[in-house]
Amino acid sequence: MHAPATQPRAQVKEAGVLAEFDTDEAIMEAATKVRDAGFTRWDCHTPFPVHGLDGAMGIRQTILPWLVLGAGLTGVCAACLMQWWMNAVDYQFVVSGKPMWSLPANVPIMFEVMVLFSGLTAFGAMFALNGLPLWYKPQFRSERFRRVTDDKFFVWVDARDPKYGEATAFLSGLGSNHVETVKEVIE
Amino acid sequence: MAGKQVIDVTTNRRHLEGLGTTGIGVGLVICVVGIILALIMNSVAGDGGHSEDHGDHSAATHEAGETHTDGHDKDAGHTDGHDGGEGAGGHGGGHGGHGYIDQYHWLHSYLMNFCYFTGIALAALFFVLLHHLAKAGWSTVVRRLAEGVAANIILMGLLSIPLLLWGDHVWLWLVEGAAEHDALLKSKEPFLNKTAWVVFTVAVFGIWSALVLVYRHFSIRQDVDGDVKHTHVLQKIAPPAMIFFALSITFFAFYYLMSLDAHWFSTIFGVLFFGGSLMAFMAFLTILCVILQKQGLLSTAITNDHYHDMGKLMFAFMVFWTYCAFSQYMLIWYGNIPEETGWFLLRQGGEQSIIPFTSDPTGWITFSLLFFVGHFFVPFFCILSRHVKRSKTALSVGAGWILFIHWVDMYYLVMPHVRSEHAITEQILIDVAFFLGIGGLFVAGTVFWLRQASLIAEKDPRLTESLAFENV
Amino acid sequence: MTTSWTEEPLPHNTYEDPTHRPPLVTGGHTNHSITERVCSIVENPPTKAWYVAFAISFSVLGLLGLMIGYLVITGTGVWGVNNPVGWGYAIINFVFWVGIGHAGTLISAILFLCRQKWRTGINRAAEAMTIFAVICAGTFPGIHVGRAWFAYWMFPLPNQMEMWPNFRSPLLWDVFAVSTYFTISLLFWYMGMIPDLATLRDRAKHPLRRFAYGLLSIGWSGSNRQWHVYERAYLILAALATPLVLSVHSVVSFDFAVAQLPGWHTTILPPYFVAGAIFSGFAMVVTLLVPCRHYFNLKDIITMRHLENMNKVIMLTGMIVGYAYATEFFIAWYGGNKTETFAFINRAFGPYGWSYWIMVSCNVISPQIFWFKKARTNLVIMFIVSIFVNIGMWFERFVIVISSLANDFLPSSWGYYRPTMIDVGTFVGSFGLFFTLFLLFCRFLPFIAMAEVKATMSEQRHAAHRDGHDGTGAPAHGSDQSAKPAGAAV
């Protein structure tokens, strides 16, 4: 029923449906309804983080803070071990009459390494948990979707959603000013 | 937008009414219990003490002065082997050898608890000033409570009288003629003399009290007329008041705590006292809020979002205190200069023992290590998580610990200068007795001030913002 | 743009009304007009002024290259350092630049944690400034080691000599602190920029631009599931950067404070250095933003209120620095140590007294003019004061380093430090590096954190709705705002 394939081996199929909204209030309302309608593979796309949208979408808290805590503790231990082994075991020399193993003098580096590990983890975990970098998304095929980084708000329902069949009709009923089906070419 | 509904503060109970009398009563009872306990302990512990007369006192001073000026370690107050490190430490050691059990020995306990509660009241004043200085929004719902706590400055001013009367049993530089035998005290005389100290105390307590009264006055006036200009006035006074506050709390800490060892000095000392006190105040405020809400007051006005912020500040100033304490310790440890290390040597003496106080009675090393663990690691992991900060029960546990550990901090600052051969159990009970005595008055005072007006700044222009506040 | 940089259309949003929060974006902007305004800086061809500024900065950068080249070929003898002053311009410049590099992270992290929404207008540029300042700072220890090609010895890398660095040395703490700070600031900056880079990608016309911004924005699509993790990560980075920013300048202060040298060894040095760093950093932000907001037509986004707030912070931190000066003096006397007392009197009245009084008048006295609102909201005055503070903070480091080293315990070894032309040239050259990088940033990267500004606007709109005010002071429709004078709608 959809557009026929233009090339012999390439196949065009629907990737999902996009509904465009003008304001953050509108997308909040829409998101609540989409969630309550029981869609599972869907998302909102917004130019800025909309306050309260996580709740409206029913997103669970991320585990990222725990990863960072783990990395921080690892950092402290690693720095402590490193300084102990390098200065008190492997290569001993006396400086300004301090003991080889001088904990107060080792605290600054323990702190810095803790922050370094935690920061790298927070950054890396943001990428990993978000599946980034991912330079292609079917949404990018929509010309109108370019304004998602400017001032437009979108609800996206993926074609793999079990309730995808009713998505277009449902989204049209949410007061969206434009509902569009996004197709992608599969080779 | 998604946020919670707008809270109508008028549906909350906002006056202490009958609870006020109960609160004051409880406070006074605690105070009386404390006094009785103190009297009992004083008569028990004082037995051996009266034989030591006053002459011994100045002899100790004399000795300390000598050790410093000729740079040799005559006073074997410490077991640590740092050469020449005893100059300033010997001062405290010399005193400690004789001191605690004379008829005024309770003054050290008194001083420690006095500083503890004065610090909390001062931090409350700081909180109010900061609220106006930063034009803060979220803290409006708890500001009246902070004003109530801050008003205890007046009480603490009155409680400074015993120290003004008998201070020479605590601060050796106050002893008549102490400077005659001590070149260092002589050089410090323009600052460390009785007149300057009394004038300072009267002046700062006077100005602090005036500030508190001004802030309370306009705040309460606004409850009635809702006039925005009161907010303007208070915001205008805040910057100069803050400057005065910064200088006065610094010198308060120098006079009351740092000069316990008059030879020792540390530029960060005032900041350290301030950081710890603010941390303790945030804990005090948290517990106050929890108690009031338990009694059905301000039940919807103060939300988890507000607790979250109080928890954050508590945590932040705990870390700030640690940062300052570490800076002070590490720099003195690293520099290893005799005139500075004495203060820490006094707190590192003795042998390490797993159970506190069981080794050498002058040995503070175990105490100091446990203190540091308790002041940083325990609260760090206790209130790091946002789930804890957003739970009243969990946060009160953390706050209780913070209040306790700040008390230990004061103990750590004051007591090494007096502890000696006497059994710790007797002495710690006297410290607790004074904690109850002054603390009971402090509680009664807080309730006294709180019951005079609404518990919330009724018509503050930022109250709506504060009520609707959400902590993301 | 018809107005000059010194003029500000009235009325601006600095009024005080406790009943509501004044708007942080003026001029009746919509989300779209924000995008237009900010992206136009990058999308329009550069102006003549930009080319001129770039040409000057780049030549000065060339001077830095020459100076460093000459130094590396000849040796550190080309500098004025000798006994007793073994630490000269290099460490002064290092501390100066690291200090400036503190404002960015402070604005992005600490103000973020304190929910100071006005940070959104200025944080991007301030973070960029931070990174470039840290690059300038990092240059100096690198060349100060003498044999710059062995600078990697500062890191704990296994080597054929089987030696490890000395972790008990504060100079090594510096290596860790500054490199950690640089890394985290860079991550923080980049992460904050991802959504805005995506905006540039989606607007790009030229395929090359599209490719470049597409690559950098890693396929960001504004997905709310991603925003959720992103915001948590950003909050955590902010929470980490806050103690980090304090630690970095504390560690820098340890370089001095662990020594026993009078004037260096004092326990308040760490917080005092941190306050000084914030102080100088904010001053540099004001110095940069006052002209930038004019040339890039950003007066609606970096409003007078932003500048006024920064001036307040400058005044506050200036007074904290003044507090530290005073405490140091008091304790130098109170401590009763004759050498220490002498060091401080010598600072003020000795051979380097002139530099001390430059420091005091620039750092403590000049910001006092900000007690007056007229001064806080006057572009010329704030620009001049910010320059004064930059000068004063450089001299603060000069006073600390030079006066203590030149007159230490042993009078027979006293000396007077004089910088050479190479010293001065290297210092001036570092400004070339700084401004070259900053101008490139203005040209190619989003100058304003657009996504954050939009979020702030939305929040203010909702808060105003709650309080029954018209918070933005302007209708929320219509996209062509560029013709409207700033603040007309307030």
C428 in A contact zone (CB under 8 Å):
no
B:C CB pairs within 8 Å:
100
Q: What is the pLDDT of residue A8?
A: 57
Residues of chain A with pLDDT under 50: 1, 5
A51 in B contact zone (CB under 8 Å):
yes
CA distance linking residue C450 with residue C453, whole number of Å: 5
Q: Return the minimum-mean-pLDDT range out of A172-186, B251-265, C74-88, C433-447.
A: A172-186
Q: Return the minimum-mean-pLDDT range out of A8-17, C126-135, C252-261.
A: A8-17
A:B CB pairs within 8 Å:
27
The nearest CA of chain A is from the CA of B2 a distance in Å of 5
Helix (H, G, I), strand (E, B) or coil at A40: coil
**Residues of B contacting chain A (CB within 8 angstroms):** 1-3, 326, 329-330, 333-334, 336, 384, 472
Best CA proximity match to C433, nearest among C174, C73, C67: C67
The nearest CA of chain B is from the CA of C462 a distance in Å of 6
Q: Are A74 and A44 in contact (CB under 8 A)?
A: no
Q: What is the pLDDT of residues B249-264, one digit of tens each?
A: 999 999 999 998 888 8
CA distance linking residue B125 with residue B234, whole number of Å: 13
Residue A96 with chain C: CB contacts under 8 Å: 168
Query: Which residue in B1, B334, B472 is closest to A105 by CB distance?
Result: B334
Q: Residue A102's closest chain B neighbor by CA?
A: B334
State the average pLDDT over residues C193-211: 90
Q: What is the pLDDT of residues C156-194, one digit of tens each?
A: 888 888 888 888 888 899 999 999 999 999 999 999 999
Flag whether A108 is in a domain. Answer: yes
C259 in A contact zone (CB under 8 Å):
no
Output the six-digit token pair for B117.
């509660």
Residue B191: how many other CB atoms lie within 10 Å: 18
C178 in A contact zone (CB under 8 Å):
no
Q: What is the phi/psi pair of residue B337, to 5°?
A: -95, 130
Identify the burial level of C147 via C-beta atoms within 10 angstroms of its C-beta, where 0-12 means exposed, 13-18 middle and 19 or more buried: exposed
Query: Which residue in B1, B330, B472 is closest to A25 by CB distance?
Result: B1
Query: Which residue in C168, C188, C250 is closest to A98 by CB distance?
Result: C168
Write the CATH number for A28.
3.30.70
Q: What is the pLDDT of residues B6-25, one digit of tens each?
A: 677 777 788 888 888 888 89
Q: pLDDT averaged over chain C?
A: 86
User: What's the CATH class of domain C31-467?
Assistant: mainly alpha
SS3 content of chain A, % helix, strand, coil (to 5): 50, 15, 35
Q: What is the pLDDT of residue B385?
A: 84
Helix (H, G, I), strand (E, B) or coil at C168: coil
Answer yes or no: do A75 and A34 share one domain.
no
Residue A107 with chain B: CB contacts under 8 Å: 326, 330
Q: What is the pLDDT of residue C438?
A: 94
Q: Are A149 and A47 in contact (CB under 8 A)?
A: yes
| Contact (CB<8Å) C202/A149 | yes
Mutual angle of helices C170-203 and C119-144, in 10-degree steps = 140
Answer yes or no: do A140 and A181 share one domain.
yes
Distances from the Cα of C357 to the Cαs of B415, C92, C327, C350, in angstroms?
43, 17, 17, 11
Residue A51 with chain B: CB contacts under 8 Å: 1-3, 472
Residue B270 with chain C: CB contacts under 8 Å: 327
Query: Which residue in B183, B231, B263 is closest to C18 by CB distance?
Result: B231
Q: Percentage of chain C surpassing pLDDT 70?
A: 94
CA A162 to chain centre: 23
Residue B383 with chain A: CB contacts under 8 Å: none
Residue A111 with chain C: CB contacts under 8 Å: 243, 247
Q: Are C291 and C302 in contact (CB under 8 A)?
A: no
Residue where the block lists tokens 């020449």: B84
Q: Residue A49's closest chain B neighbor by CA?
A: B472
State the average pLDDT over residues B91-100: 36
Helix (H, G, I), strand (E, B) or coil at B208: helix
Query: Which residue in A28, A97, A104 is closest to B329 by CB distance?
Result: A104
Local confidence band at B44 (pLDDT 50, 70, 90 cut-offs): low
State yes or no: pLDDT of C435 exceeds 90.
Answer: yes
State yes or no: pLDDT of B68 exceeds 80.
Answer: no
Best CA proximity match to C382, nearest among C465, C483, C287: C287
Q: What is the pLDDT of residues C398-425, one digit of tens each?
A: 999 999 899 888 889 888 898 999 999 9
Q: Residue A57's closest chain B neighbor by CA?
A: B2
CA distance linking residue C105 with residue C281, whole number of Å: 10
| Contact (CB<8Å) C237/A108 | no
Q: What is the pLDDT of residues B384-416, one digit of tens each?
A: 888 888 888 899 999 999 999 999 999 888 887
DSSP C293-359: HHHTT-TTTS-HHHHHHHHHHHHHHHHHHHHHHHHHHHHHHHT--HHHHHHHHHHHHSTTHHHHHHH
C260 in A contact zone (CB under 8 Å):
no
> Which of A126, A137, A152 would best serve as a mutation to test chain C binding (most C beta carbons within 10 A)?
A126
The nearest CA of chain A is from the CA of C362 a distance in Å of 32
Q: What is the pLDDT of residues B128-142, one digit of tens each?
A: 999 999 888 888 889
> Which of A33, A35, A51 would best serve as a mutation to test chain B binding (most B beta carbons within 10 A)?
A51
Local confidence band at B102 (pLDDT 50, 70, 90 cut-offs): very low
CA gyration radius, chain B: 23
> Which of C260, C268, C364 would best serve as a mutation to test chain B binding (most B beta carbons within 10 A)?
C268
Best CA proximity match to C127, nearest among C336, C284, C308: C284
DSSP state of A59: P
Flag whether A48 is in a domain. Answer: yes
Q: Residue A104's closest chain B neighbor by CA?
A: B330
Q: What is the pLDDT of residue A28?
A: 85
Instruction: Name every residue whose Cβ is closer than 8 Å to that of residue B319 and which is 6 or more positions away in sequence.
Output: B376, B380, C243
Query: Which residue in B3, B329, B334 is closest to A52 by CB distance?
Result: B3
Q: What is the phi/psi pair of residue A98, to 5°?
A: -85, 150
A143 in C contact zone (CB under 8 Å):
no
A:C CB pairs within 8 Å:
198
Q: What is the pLDDT of residue B70?
A: 37
State the average pLDDT over residues C42-71: 92
Q: What is the pLDDT of residues B175-234, one digit of tens each?
A: 888 888 888 888 888 888 889 999 999 999 999 999 999 999 999 998 888 888 888 889
Q: Residue C246's closest chain B neighbor by CA?
A: B323
CA distance linking residue B14 with residue C229, whole number of Å: 40
The nearest CA of chain B is from the CA of A177 a distance in Å of 22
State yes or no: pLDDT of B94 exceeds 80.
Answer: no
Q: Which residues 156-175 of chain A have a CB within 8 Å of chain B?
A: none
Q: What is the pLDDT of residue B119?
A: 95
State yes or no: pLDDT of B454 exceeds 80.
Answer: yes
State yes or no: pLDDT of B80 exceeds 70.
Answer: no
Q: Residue ranges per domain, chain B? A: 2-56+66-81+96-467
**Cα angle for residues C316, C318, C324 (degrees, 5° grid):** 105
Full residue range of the structural domain in which residue A80 is found: 64-129
The nearest CA of chain B is from the CA of C304 a distance in Å of 17
| Contact (CB<8Å) C223/A118 | no
Helix (H, G, I), strand (E, B) or coil at B186: helix
CA C313 to chain centre: 13
Residue B184 with chain C: CB contacts under 8 Å: 336
State the average pLDDT over residues B92-113: 58
Q: Residue C335's closest chain B neighbor by CA?
A: B265
Q: What is the pLDDT of residue A6?
A: 53
CA distance linking residue C441 with residue C130, whole number of Å: 12
Report ipTM (2 d.p.). Answer: 0.88
State the average pLDDT over residues C4-22: 74
Best CA proximity match to B276, nearest among B323, B309, B239: B323
Flag whether A92 is in a domain. Answer: yes
Q: What is the pLDDT of residue A187?
A: 66
Q: Percentage of chain C surpassing pLDDT 90?
A: 34
Q: What is the pLDDT of residue B146?
A: 93
C265 in B contact zone (CB under 8 Å):
yes
Strands A153-158 and A42-45: antiparallel
C13 in B contact zone (CB under 8 Å):
no
Instruction: Name every residue whose Cβ is closer than 8 Å to that of residue B80 and which is 6 or more positions away in sequence.
Output: B345, B348, B349
Q: What is the pLDDT of residue B362?
A: 55
Q: Residue B234's closest chain C neighbor by CA?
A: C18
Residue where the block lists tokens 């996580």: A54
Neighbours of chain C (3+ CB pairs under 8 A): A, B
Mutual angle of helices C338-349 and C353-360, in 10-degree steps = 80
Q: Residue C30's closest chain A neighbor by CA?
A: A151
Helix (H, G, I), strand (E, B) or coil at A121: helix
Q: Residue A124's closest chain C neighbor by CA?
A: C233
| Overall domain count for chain A | 2
CA distance linking residue B374 with residue C195, whole number of Å: 43
